[in-house]
Structure 1
Amino acid sequence: MNESFSPEVPGRRALARPRSLTPPGRWTLSGALALLMLSLGACRDTPREEQEPGEQVEEAPHPVGLTIDAMDNEQHVLRGGFRVDAGVVRVEVYEGSMLLGEAVLEGEGRWSIPWQPSHASEALEVIAYHDTGTENRTRLDFQRLSFTSPESLYASEALLTLPTSPDTTTRYTLDGSTPGPSSPVYTAPLALMNRSGQPAPLSLIRTNPEVSPEDWRWKPPTLPVTLGTVVRVQRFAGETPVETGQARTYLIGQRPYTLPVLSLVTDAENFFDAVRGIYVPGRVYEETPGGFEGWGTGNYMQDGKDWERPVHVEWFEEAGTPVIAQNAGVRIHGSGSAALPQKSLRLYAKEDYGPELFHADIFPGHPLRDFKRLMVRTSGQDQQYTKLKDCVFQGLLRDTTLALQACRPTVVFLNGEYWGLHELRERYDEYYLASHHGLNRKDIVILENAGDLDTGEPEDSLPYTELLTYVREHDLSVPEHYAHVVERMDVEDFIDYHVAQLYFGNEDWPDNNVKFWRNRAGNGATGAGDGRWRWLLYDLDASFFAGPEFNSLGRLLHDERLGEPFVVLLRSLLKSPDFKGLFIARFRWHLENTFAPERVVAFLDAAAARLEPELPEHIGRWRYPTSMERWREDVQFMRDTALRRPDALRGFLEQELGAP
């Protein structure tokens, strides 16, 4: 039996599609990365704790903002700052009680001094002398971290020790790039500091064409982008890499997030290069920029192994406890939603990169701990509205036998840059179905939409084609004809699936986002592996758009714009008195229980409360939703719809099916 899991936390208009796009100016990776220069932020001032007996220290008449705020580990230069008008004439820097020397005053309130920490280093102290004869002091104590230990995501300023061995050279990078033979050599602990105020060049890269429709066009961040520190390490024998390189992410001096954090680390070219970058319009768009309908073209619309890139994956629980740290593969996930600025991803555990599985307790209460593939989802089209729908609506169905995707809202960082709110999800595929039902994945058949093959062999679509042909040619009000259909599809699963879609009023269905599956080796088996067709519920982002009075049942039964293969099963089955009675009874039960207004609102309120603390930063980064006020309005629209939807559907059952 499959289980589903609601998130720990628990729209009114579908997105317009563009008429056409024209090419923007060419973007180059080197140009964007040139923005990555060492800039300096502020850190805390603390008084010096030690003072000579009898020494009188007169504080400056005004705060000077004396800081120790950046370290260039490659050039071994420590930097800091002070207020420009503070009248500072000399800055001295101490390591413990040892004077390192007098810092260079660089102008614009900046100072620097050569420094390389040692394994004995513990603290730094800086004294600023003023033209008034007064002085100010600040002190920085370092935490000790080891790259080889499962350290917390969150740390104060730290000295990080990297792994070494007598026969190899340890090289590292701090920008997410893979260490190579020319990367910096590790010789002493790395000083890690808060990166506030430094550039975030990846966040300034346009991720859809400049001529995209205004309501889903990429826009630059309006708030400073939170930055983590990513350390990638590779040991070399000469110029030959030894073992697999690894990465670690630290949020130095940052407030803990209220959600788990997923850190993805990869060479920037893998996402943003015009030729091989999977996250940008790139060469595909440049070569075919216009004259098309729908969501347009771009590198991000490509799929398959050729568009998979290596990535290092780290997953941290809310408290910063590390859960996953491994190399994997990554691809863009989604079709139309891939054209939106923030994109969903798929993660692939493969022997090519490292472990063959993601092995961890990712989803609380979940029966599985091993996952072959995971999704890092942006809520699809709902990323512009509530960012709640698919997780909440699937969670409402956890007491049914429908296949559902576990979900956890999470904060994502990419190469140390804040990348916004996502959802870590299970992915529907042969691995999911085999794991949940104890089946051989090679016997799993998955079809989509009108019966197109997704997973399996070409002949695996024939049983479904034959089923549709049968219901077209036979009157299912005849009991033996209905029985023939029941032997080939799980009717109760089919009913629960349709009741859910109709309650949600999903406008991106039934002529899209349809998947169903069977176990081809299921003759004589029981349960989900019995060989009958069952349905996969997903992508509910276009639900609750039209409000509580939307007659989704009438649309499904009568709208001639819906393709016949998408509706022929339900319309034919409703000719069977047995099926019709079961359908109405099950629909009414769900309205009274699964979709009871107070239950739906409780799920929604829990989800909204979970996301709300983190949404302002997300909005500042991606500009969608457009504001907290708009988000709250859209969430309230969902509440209002949930309160009135059951009564409206009861009326439609009577109107369309004569239900008493």
Structure 2
Amino acid sequence: MNHPFASETPGRRVGVLALLVWGLAACHRAPEVSADEVEEESSPAVLTIDAMDNEQHVLRGGFPLDSGVFRVELYEGDLLLGEALLEEGRWSIPWQPGAGSESLEVVAYSMTGTELRTRLDFQRLRFTEPEGLYAAEALLTLPTAPDTTTRYTLDGTAPGPSSPVYNTPLVLLNRRGQPAPLSLIPTNPDTSPESWRWKPPATPPMLATVVRLQRFSGETPVGPAEARTYLIGQSASSLPVLSLVTDAENFFGHDQGIYVPGRMHDDSPEGTAGWGTGNYMQDGKEWERPVHVEWFEETGRPVFAQNAGVRIHGSGSAALPQKSLRLYAKEDYGPEWFQAAFFPDHPLTDFKRLLVRTSGQDQQSTKLKDCVLQGFLRQTSLALQACRPTVVFLNGEYWGLHEIRERYDEYYLASHHGLNRKHIVILEGDGLLDTGEAEDAVPYAELLAYVREHDLSAPEHFAHVEARIDVDDFIDYHVAQLYFGNEDWPDNNIKFWRYRGGSATAGAGDGRWRWLMYDLDAAFAGGPEVNSLGRLLRDERLGEPFVVLFRGLMKSPLFRERFIARFHWHLDNTFASERVLARLDAAVERLAPEMSQHIARWRYPESEESWRLEVQRLRDTVQGRPEALRRFLHEELGSP
């Protein structure tokens, strides 16, 4: 399928409104037929009821052009409602559901004397009730109130004073064959490297129905806007579903859209970094947009629905076609917390911020590394992000596989450890301030200076450092990174934190530095034989601030002995091949039913076959990794 604006020059602006107009026009085009559907063309003639214009109250359907149909009638019960208008294999007829509407039957008469029939039985839904995500064809009742007018939209836009007025139940049908214009908008420039350039969907994406409503007194909104998502006539997913609804301009507008190259790319198309430029590379409150969020369990049971804020999440990975998002619960939009049991067996149900992650750079290969590999470490005391694979819809269009995740920030650390978030300090990289006051970076800089100036083989010098970092946490963190062979670390993707509330507090509030495990997308990239330990000990290409603490501690016999013993314990337990493979295979089994649809939507990974090959490479690596690391421990540290 060619993008309708493929001939546009990079500098020319194409508004989302134009795309939506194109999409509506596409409703009247014959749908594209894939190779898999060719066999269906020779099947018996089929009469369909497949579209409803709820604003104009027109019901539509189709019939085979070669069937000789010359008249189509619509019945409600035994009552003939009228004869439909016929045009090139399509029929249409004015119709409004009434209070007693339960079913419709359409009868098509052929010149050969045969009749085609189809029947539609409606489920009754109420917007105000917590209905499930999955439903049969339905009549939806919206709430009304005296002295107000209820207006609605079905395309994701926020209802305004000129939006359609609700006065009769809305007819919700399966949207198969309808256009999905947002999926045809390029999400990185056509100058991006071919290996990660945006591609149009291979097949039409699955579509949900999104109903947004707003009550008005005259032209003044009354109360908050609300939204509900329904998958009509679709089978249930094997994963939870997250529905995001926002004005299309918030994601795809040239000036304000956070998901496209847009203005920022036009103003500076080259940029200075290898990932290029775009609106999606921006951060901060200025690039936060309103969004309505709904979360459904695998069964379709609704868990919560609320308004929130959304930003793009990630740095380099934001330049890839499918992008990670960050959700903010704020009083500006609605509830101040996301309150739901997102993660099974997780102690928390209140979250200030959530990630909707695409698996970063790994979205082109296994699409599961960071989520699954962090899960291997649950029996340690390391800070880890709870994670759950999730299917996402954006304004009703299937947006592919993501992961709902916790986000590392002061709210995460305060919630997990019962601390005052205002006393939490987070640094990143070589000691740059992420969260806290400017002076909060000084203790870490002083610690590194001490390590440079003192030989930690002396017990008193090691004790000085041990009083300032959680050594056990430091060891577990480094053992895990070395096992993973993470090539995008330690001079990237490194964060650490402390509580500056004082050293008298026990546990994580004791004031010592601890490390945060995240972004394992580059794990195992070099296979099982990568000597990550030797790299950390000797590689001069690693920036000195990133390795000075580890290399200094290795001079301490006390630390060295603890490190080696803990490493062997992890290889025998945490990273035992049978344990790791079982968890990896379970994760693959969860994703497998969704991969075909995801690959058709984003074209990355390249195919199901290539995905399974990448997964097998990962399996081969984890099988051989413990033996290789035992050898490196002996060669580098003299471990028996």
**Paired position in structure 2 for 1:295:** 275
Which secondary structure state, in structure 2, belongs to the residue aligned with residue 338 of structure 1? helix
Following TM superposition, by how much is the alpha carbon of 1:130 offset from its aligned partner in structure 2, in angstroms? 1.3
**Paired position in structure 2 for 1:322:** 302
Structure 2 distance, partners of 1:102, 1:548, is 70
**Paired position in structure 2 for 1:494:** 474
- Give 2:358's match in structure 1, choosing from 372, 378, 385: 378
Structure 2 distance, partners of 1:472, 1:24, is 52
Cα distance change, pair 23–561 in 1 and its aligned pair in 2 (3 A): farther
Is 1:407 aligned to 2:394, yes or no?
A: no
Is the contact between residue 154 and residue 210 of structure 2 (CA under 8 Å) also seen in structure 1? yes
**Paired position in structure 2 for 1:445:** 425
**Paired position in structure 2 for 1:418:** 398
Structure 1 distance, partners of 2:120, 2:271, is 59
**Paired position in structure 2 for 1:72:** 53
**Paired position in structure 2 for 1:214:** 194
Cα distance change, pair 518–304 in 1 and its aligned pair in 2 (3 A): same
**Paired position in structure 1 for 2:79:** 98
Is the contact between residue 251 and residue 260 of structure 2 (CA under 8 Å) also seen in structure 1? yes
Following TM superposition, by how much is the alpha carbon of 1:133 offset from its aligned partner in structure 2, in angstroms? 2.7
Letter in 2 for 1:353: Y
Following TM superposition, by how much is the alpha carbon of 1:25 offset from its aligned partner in structure 2, in angstroms? 4.9
Structure 2 distance, partners of 1:315, 1:293, is 36
Is the contact between residue 309 and residue 327 of structure 2 (CA under 8 Å) also seen in structure 1? yes
Structure 2 distance, partners of 1:390, 1:434, is 23
Letter in 1 for 2:275: W
Is the contact between residue 204 and residue 221 of structure 1 (CA under 8 Å) also seen in structure 2? yes
Letter in 2 for 1:378: T
Following TM superposition, by how much is the alpha carbon of 1:30 offset from its aligned partner in structure 2, in angstroms? 2.5
**Paired position in structure 2 for 1:152:** 132
Letter in 2 for 1:102: E
Letter in 2 for 1:573: L
Is the contact between residue 41 and residue 198 of structure 1 (CA under 8 Å) also seen in structure 2? no
Provide structure 1 residue ranges, at least 5 long, that are not aligned to the other structure. Answer: 1-21, 44-60
Deviations 1:259-304 (A, max 9, x none): 0000000000000001000000000000000152321111000000
Q: CA RMSD in A?
A: 1.5
Is 1:279 aligned to 2:259, yes or no?
A: yes
Letter in 2 for 1:157: E
**Paired position in structure 2 for 1:84:** 65
Letter in 2 for 1:181: P
Following TM superposition, by how much is the alpha carbon of 1:63 offset from its aligned partner in structure 2, in angstroms? 3.3
Mapping for residues 54-453 of structure 1, pairs under 5 Å = 63-106=44-87, 108-290=88-270, 292-453=272-433
Structure 2 distance, partners of 1:653, 1:601, is 23
Cα distance change, pair 507–357 in 1 and its aligned pair in 2 (3 A): same
**Paired position in structure 2 for 1:53:** none
Which secondary structure state, in structure 1, belongs to the residue aligned with residue 550 of structure 2? helix
Letter in 1 for 2:291: V
Is the contact between residue 499 and residue 511 of structure 2 (CA under 8 Å) also seen in structure 1? yes
Letter in 2 for 1:81: G
**Paired position in structure 2 for 1:34:** 21
Runs (4+) of structure 1 moved beyond 4 Å?
22-25, 40-43
Cα distance change, pair 62–326 in 1 and its aligned pair in 2 (3 A): closer
If asked which structure has higher relative contact order (CA below 8 Å, sep 6+), I would say 1
Which secondary structure state, in structure 1, belongs to the residue aligned with residue 606 of structure 2? coil
**Paired position in structure 2 for 1:613:** 593
Cα distance change, pair 23–479 in 1 and its aligned pair in 2 (3 A): farther
Following TM superposition, by how much is the alpha carbon of 1:659 offset from its aligned partner in structure 2, in angstroms? 1.3
Is the contact between residue 290 and residue 308 of structure 2 (CA under 8 Å) also seen in structure 1? yes
**Paired position in structure 1 for 2:5:** none
Deviations 1:200-236 (A, max 9, x none): 0000000001010010000000011100000001000
Is the contact between residue 271 and residue 277 of structure 2 (CA under 8 Å) also seen in structure 1? no
Which secondary structure state, in structure 2, belongs to the residue aligned with residue 91 of structure 1? strand
Following TM superposition, by how much is the alpha carbon of 1:392 offset from its aligned partner in structure 2, in angstroms? 1.0
Following TM superposition, by how much is the alpha carbon of 1:41 offset from its aligned partner in structure 2, in angstroms? 11
Which secondary structure state, in structure 2, belongs to the residue aligned with residue 353 of structure 1? coil
Is the contact between residue 23 and residue 285 of structure 1 (CA under 8 Å) also seen in structure 2? no
Following TM superposition, by how much is the alpha carbon of 1:62 offset from its aligned partner in structure 2, in angstroms? 8.7
Report % sequence identity: 74
Cα distance change, pair 168–629 in 1 and its aligned pair in 2 (3 A): same
Letter in 2 for 1:522: G
Is the contact between residue 475 and residue 481 of structure 1 (CA under 8 Å) also seen in structure 2? yes
- Give 1:565's match in structure 2, choosing from 545, 570, 577: 545
Cα distance change, pair 530–148 in 1 and its aligned pair in 2 (3 A): same
TM-score, structure 2 normalization: 0.96
Structure 1 distance, partners of 2:462, 2:14, is 59
Structure 2 distance, partners of 1:40, 1:24, is 30
Is the contact between residue 411 and residue 420 of structure 1 (CA under 8 Å) also seen in structure 2? yes
Letter in 1 for 2:255: V
Structure 2 distance, partners of 1:523, 1:288, is 48
**Paired position in structure 2 for 1:600:** 580
Which secondary structure state, in structure 1, belongs to the residue aligned with residue 389 of structure 2? strand
Is the contact between residue 42 and residue 69 of structure 1 (CA under 8 Å) also seen in structure 2? no
Deviations 1:412-456 (A, max 9, x none): 000000000000000000000000000001011000010000000
